[in-house]
Structure 1
Amino acid sequence: MGDNNSWVGVVPTQRQMSTEVVIVQVLITVFLSVNFLQIRTFLMKEVFRTTMRYILFANTLLSDSLFLILTDIVLILICFQVLIDISLCIIIYIGLSLYTFVTQVTLTAMTLERFVAICMPLRHGELCTMRNSLHCILIIHGISCIPLSVFLSIFFASAARTVYTQHLMCAAEVFILHSWQQHLRSAINQFYSLIMCVTIVFCYVKIMKVAKVASGENRASTKKGLQTVALHAFQLILCLISLWCPFIEAAVLQIDFMLFMNVRYFNYIVFVLTPRCLSPLIYGLRDEKFFLAVKYNVCFGLQKKKSSLSFV
């Protein structure tokens, strides 16, 4: 709590803040526009709404979009040192914590789906149904809620009543009242990281074995699946690094506030924005069927706009 309050009164240069915030707004606007376009494409085609990999992809797009909106709000609040009620901060923290893990667990589930499609093709239709997809999304959210439930339960049990009447700058550090909470948070993050990394490596090795014995069209399909898993692994690594960023930032904050602001901004661009712009590229552009649907959606929208202008 003390660290968070100590931020007040230390103001970065207005020009630096304005430039950084403008850059972030441009990037987030582009990412959200692409995400919403692809979500719209997903909703327009029944084949996408009934296929597990596209359902999980849409879940990732929605999760990333909500996460980007919330992180942008927090970034603006911190940059301009806006104090808010702690109850509102708790709501923001719930969304951020939940969707941090939802994206990562969904990526792991998408990797498992590719493993089943390539290594167990005869059972893929049975296991990857629309009903099982919806159950999978519920499980993903349930797993993602566990760290959040642990952290908030400890906070509510440890915080004094006066805490709930405070106005402060919203950050994850607000909810860490004891040093052992930081260690617990680290342990849970490492556990999740280990499980997801083991799953990714397992699927990659299994798909690689199938790729070696495959031939013809199957070989090309398997190779593409292998590349998709590799991209998921890279995306997941960036997401997992973001779990360590708060610990790095907390250490830097003890040294210098301006350095802390620069490190947090760098981490936000590289480990928060970057992995969340990869999902549209991995499935939205590399998947031929989905790419053609997006292209048709964009072209039809432009033609419709031109035709409406011609009557003006």
Structure 2
Amino acid sequence: MQNLTDVLGNTTTHKNLSVIIKVCVVIPFFCVFLCCIGVMLHIFASHRQFLDTSRYILFAYMLINDTLQLLSSVLLFLFVMGQVKFAIVYCVPLLFISTATFQNTPLILATMSLERYVAIFYPLQRPAAWRSDRIWIIVVSLFLISSTTPLIDHAIREHDPAVDVFTTPVVCKATTVNSSPIQTLFKAAMSIIFFAVVAVIILFTYVRILLETRKLRQDRASVNKAMHTVLLHGFQLLLSMLAFTSPITETLIVLHVDWLPQDISFFNYFCFMLIPRFLSPLIYGFRDQILRDYIRKTFLCCSNKMKPHIRVKLRDIFSAS
């Protein structure tokens, strides 16, 4: 009996240690992401030139979208790790935000590629919807389109009569709330359609700009830059699609490594959800020369402001000693 108690105690201790390690890995990573995104959004809000350019407005929208996506997914991760249970009526909004923002990312990438296409082929007669003062119409449309998937997904959910959505506590995760085969098939089909359409749009814009580069003899630098930007959007799309590789990676891990199911899920979540969402906006943001210069100036300004305070604190410490 004593040996059984020791085994159960060791298992519980190992499980608690595993949860603590996972939380300690995710939280600092997410805080660094928020810090970088906060700096870029502060730069956008502080300089009018960014708000007068459609490309930067769409990029700021992508930053906000990815922040909401990571915030909702990290909250769901913490709730699952802590086995926190609450009613489905409070769980559904979190899952809605997570799904809608996940579907919205490829749509934003496609829109940014089309914006470069419009800027190259219609530099003087840009359509009204693509001007900086009207781009909000496209932004709202993207949000409404991406919201249809979670709304329909929730509408076709099979309601269990034994579960009261207002009082029955559950662990908030997609497999608990959306567990029917119809929902799984619907989400997979919608994700494939979203990413396929976006891939076609990005490929189309890249090929068109590439052909235009061969025709133009003047201003080839801007056209080449637009072509590289569209190619970068394709790379960002590939990063977003890494989330769909989890069944393959789970199979490979099970075949070669003796891991617990929750450890495999965490590995997939960290490597194929968090890291791509972290890298995608940062790669695009730091690639832009103007934005990169402002980021450098912001960090230099913050470091210069910190130095006098550090000197005062050091002087007070030495004088007290």
- Tell me the equivalent position of 1:301: 302
Q: CA deviation at 1:243?
A: 4.8
- Tell me the equivalent position of 1:152: 154
- Tell me the equivalent position of 1:6: none
For 1:41 and 1:74, how far apart are their aligned partners in 2?
30
- Tell me the equivalent position of 2:115: 113
- Tell me the equivalent position of 1:143: 145
Q: Give 5+ residue unaligned stretches, structure 1.
A: 1-9
Secondary structure of 1:84's aligned partner: strand
Give percent identity, aligned residues only. 27
Aligned CA distance change for structure 1 residues 42 and 279 (closer, same or farther; 3 Å): farther
For 2:160 and 2:78, how far apart are their aligned partners in 1?
26
Q: Using CA pairs below 8 Å that are at least 6 residues apart, which structure has the higher relative contact order?
A: 1
- Tell me the equivalent position of 2:59: 57
**Cα deviation 1:142-177 (Å, max 9, x = unaligned):** 11111011011122x634363413211111112324
For 1:105 and 1:42, how far apart are their aligned partners in 2?
21
Q: CA deviation at 1:293?
A: 1.7
**Cα deviation 1:206-245 (Å, max 9, x = unaligned):** 11112233446x2232222222212211211221342564
- Tell me the equivalent position of 2:233: 232
Q: CA deviation at 1:117?
A: 1.7
Q: CA deviation at 1:100?
A: 0.9
Please list, as runs of the form range in 1=range in 2, the aligned pairs for 1:186-225 lying within 5 A after superposition. 186-215=188-217, 218-225=219-226
**Cα deviation 1:164-198 (Å, max 9, x = unaligned):** 13211111112324212211221111111221111
- Tell me the equivalent position of 1:7: none
Secondary structure of 1:269's aligned partner: helix
Q: CA deviation at 1:98?
A: 1.5
For 1:207 and 1:109, how far apart are their aligned partners in 2?
15
Q: CA deviation at 1:33?
A: 0.6
Aligned CA distance change for structure 1 residues 126 and 185 (closer, same or farther; 3 Å): closer
- Tell me the equivalent position of 1:175: 177
CA contact (8 A) 2:206 2:231 kept: yes
Secondary structure of 1:168's aligned partner: strand
CA RMSD of aligned residues (A): 2.8
TM-score w.r.t. the length of structure 1 is: 0.85
Aligned CA distance change for structure 1 residues 309 and 171 (closer, same or farther; 3 Å): same
Larger Rg: 1 or 2?
A: 2
Aligned CA distance change for structure 1 residues 44 and 195 (closer, same or farther; 3 Å): same
Q: Give 5+ residue unaligned stretches, structure 2.
A: 1-10, 314-321
- Tell me the equivalent position of 2:263: 262
CA contact (8 A) 1:228 1:282 kept: no
**Cα deviation 1:85-127 (Å, max 9, x = unaligned):** 2222112111111211222211111111111122332334855
Please list, as runs of the form range in 1=range in 2, the aligned pairs for 1:28-67 lying within 5 A after superposition. 28-67=30-69
- Tell me the equivalent position of 2:76: 74
Aligned length: 298
CA contact (8 A) 2:58 2:139 kept: yes
TM-score w.r.t. the length of structure 2 is: 0.83
